[in-house]
Amino acid sequence: MHVPSLPPHPPAPSAHRSRAWWIRGAAVALASVGALLLYVYWLRPEMLREDSGISVDEDTLTALKACIALGALALSLFEGMRRLGGRPLRARTVRWGFGGLAALAVLAYFSFGDTGYHAFYHRWDIFHYYMGSKYAAELGYKSLYECTARAQSELSPAMAEEVAGRNLRNLRTDTFEPARWVLSSAPRCRAAFTDARWAAFKADVSWFREVSGKDFFNEMQTDHGYNPSPMWTVLGREVARLVGPASDTTLKVLASVDLFLFAGVFLAIGWAFGGRVLCVCLIFWGTQFAANAFFTSGGFSRQGWFFFLVLSACLLRRRRYALGGAALALTSLLRLFPVLFALPLVVVAAAHRWRTGRWAPSHQRFFAGFLVGGLLLASTTVLTLGPQAWREFAEHISHHSSAPLTNHMGLPTLLSVSGEGRMKVVPREGPDPFAKWRELRRQQLSERQPLALGLGALMLAATGVAAWRRRSLWVAMSLGAVLAASLLQLTNYYYSFLLVPCLLAAASRSVERVAFMASAASAFLVLWPKASYYYDDRYVAQTVIFLLPLGALVAALWPRRRRRPSLPVQEDVRTGAVEPPAMAAQLDKGS
């Protein structure tokens, strides 16, 4: 895979054409989302029932996804062969081919109508995000389960008996304990609420218990609590307050937010990169397995960080440097790990300073937007939630991130695997059936910590070298995906960040073909029971599948000795980029 040197930005369209594109694109995207919601909620309400009969089993779904990805790969290869043979396909044929496959990929992402959850919303997910943000001031990061148990026990004697008979996770110690101990924490829970807030909290708990059923609701109290950052809490709390008390309508509204965020993501890609890259990204997003819709579909604004991460790359592509920096700051405050996408940009700016002795104005605008936007947004959370909010979040997330999960991905996850530490062989007993599994994972990673640090340092250095010769900020930003996969253990659904490297399809057909191959392979692996029957094996295999193309990306961007260009060159005064004008125009078309 070779990614050639790129111009820092495409030719700027006229203001009239840009405005017309925005109006048409926004109208199509919003109308599509509105039509989907209208269809599901009003014209086909039977789709929202658990007994609707609309069901697509996982093997069938992943096989269809693999076929779509392979179909896109075949079309891309066939187009290239025809071009090399001097008989290129008609542009309309290619557009319709990729457009049709992209539409199928979108349907595949949403399981061809199998919503998966009763009434389209994910009760487990929304319980944590809705209750955790709405009552953040009273619950903090440690009291969600104990105060829920306390409130439920006050609803009726039967509910009190139900609470006393279940186990829940003590978020202060990250251990499973009988819920009886919670009943003694009444003063602590009750003292944090006013009478009106406690009554509202009890009403919301009662509603979630009613729509979830006993067993499902009890299992919800064994998760890892409320984990979003204070920045997300500020935004989520206002939305939760706006929609009102928990109800069927409320949760449908909350579950619909992500549809508009997805529409915004791909609208931005189409605006910044054009239709071909848009189709590539839709096909990859819809068919890859790592970040499929299972865990977060029907949740409450789970894609906000994803929207602002992709938007940042799109804004950089379109020379909106300050806005691109602010968008990257916001996504970093929402989910922390996207700050890694800023590190290659620091290298690009430092390299330019080293070569020229001055800072590029575009780099100055980007980092001004990043720093000023980040400070303003962080200050808003402090003023809204108090100065202790970030400290409490740091304590909670450090404790939570140290606990291995079966759907973790990343190089550290790969290094924590051992033959005796797999779900397949570890006995699952007691109130916390995964306690022994987590212990073995931690032990293995601890023993391999020097190797993990060495490999992490190697990947950090490699991405730094690859970024050193880059001149386009949006190109270098793709290397942040390498850092996220190499340095961190992230749950699988955050691997939608792989869409950022896919944007390099604007420069090279090799990128789109590698993306299609990786997506197809990730789907095919799910069909292989030996590699995917147990969740820990499944996501270790997914890690391998996506680390390989990310390593190839570093190699493709690795600096090579350049020949002196035979064409006249011109320097872009904003970035210092030096490109032959004709070559820049050709690359800008992605050919």
From CA 462, how far away is CA 64, in angstroms rounded?
A: 36
What mean pLDDT comes out for the span 423-432?
A: 84
From CA 490, how far away is CA 407, in angstroms rounded?
A: 8
From CA 65, how far away is CA 59, in angstroms rounded?
A: 10
**What 3-state class would DSSP assign to 175?**
strand
Q: Identify the H or E element spanning 512.
A: helix 509-526
Paired with 41 in beta bridges are none
pLDDT of residue 7: 44
Given pLDDT bands bounded at 50, 70 and 90, which one contains residue 276? very high
Residue 437: C-alpha distances to residues 243, 340, 404, 434, 548 (Å) = 40, 29, 9, 5, 27
The torsion of the CA quartet 464, 470, 476, 479, rounded to 10 degrees, works out to: -40
Give the tens place of pLDDT for each residue, 103-117.
999 988 988 776 656
Q: At a CB cut-off of 8 Å and minimum separation 6, what does 191 contact?
A: none
One-letter identity of residue 308:
F
From CA 434, how far away is CA 438, in angstroms rounded?
A: 6
pLDDT at 36 over 70: no
From CA 298, how far away is CA 116, in angstroms rounded?
A: 9
pLDDT of residue 579: 35
Q: With contact defined as beta carbons under 8 Å apart, do 288 and 66 qualify?
A: no
What mean pLDDT comes out for the span 45-61?
A: 58
Tokens of 1: 């895979």
Q: At a CB cut-off of 8 Å and minimum separation 6, what does 30 contact?
A: 260, 263
**What 3-state class would DSSP assign to 491?**
strand
pLDDT at 9 over 70: no
From CA 306, how far away is CA 553, in angstroms rounded?
A: 21
Please provide the average confidence, as pLDDT, over all residues in the chain. Answer: 84
pLDDT at 15 over 70: no
Q: With contact defined as beta carbons under 8 Å apart, do 504 and 514 qualify?
A: no
The tally of CA atoms less than 13 A away on the side-chain side of residue 310 is 33
Give the tens place of pLDDT for each residue, 359-396.
999 999 999 999 999 999 999 999 999 888 999 999 88
The angle subtended at Cα 476 by Cα 326 and Cα 491, nearest 5°, is: 75
pTM, 2 dp: 0.87
Q: Minimum mean pLDDT among 61-65, 117-121, 147-151, 224-228: which range? A: 117-121
pLDDT of residue 563: 54
DSSP 8-state assignment for residue 486: H
Give the tens place of pLDDT for each residue, 331-364.
999 999 999 999 999 999 999 999 999 999 999 9
From CA 211, how far away is CA 130, in angstroms rounded?
A: 15
